Amino acid sequence: MFGRRINPRLIKLHRPYSVEEVARTLGVHKNSVRSWIKAGLTTVDRSRPALILGHELRAYLESKRKSAKRPCPPGTLYCFKCRLPRAPAMGMVEAICQNATTGNLSAICEVCGTMMHRRARLDAIGTTMPNLDVQIREAEPRIYERSAPSLNCDNRKDQ
């Protein structure tokens, strides 16, 4: 069972916190804060109650979050069902442009068959998806830019 993600921005930088105040602010148990102190979170001194400076607590939480991140290796997308980075099925990836520089990559997982997604820069698709067939899909033109109306158009003259 996964716990709730802790937001380090709830901590004020220029304020000292006690263990109980940190636990109340972040919504964790006091023993969790004490285990952070044992793991390397610095306190003002070794007296009781332990005081923790806000900027040190925020830096510790941000470094802890950054060390837990696992970036996908090249040629893979993250499958939420398998909970692992997986190669796309048949080596096919579809890129949907969001703006001029970035887009969403989507593919089917070769193990479980669910959709996988990954955000990527369009100019770096060659390095993030080497040796794969990437199809870049452009957005459909607006209705006034089309040469013929859409199939669902009710503006027929034959009625």
Per-chain mean pLDDT for the chain: 84
Q: pTM (2 decimals)?
A: 0.56
- Distances in Å between the Cα of 35 and the Cα atoms of 38, 46, 108, 158 are 5, 15, 41, 76
Split at pLDDT 50, 70, 90, the class of 4 is confident
Q: What is the pLDDT of residue 137?
A: 73
Instruction: State how far Cα 112 lies from the chain centre.
Output: 21
* The two structure tokens encoding residue 102: 């970035």
Cα–Cα distance, 116 to 85 (Å, whole number): 9
Q: What is the pLDDT of residue 147?
A: 66
Report whether pLDDT(98) > 70.
yes
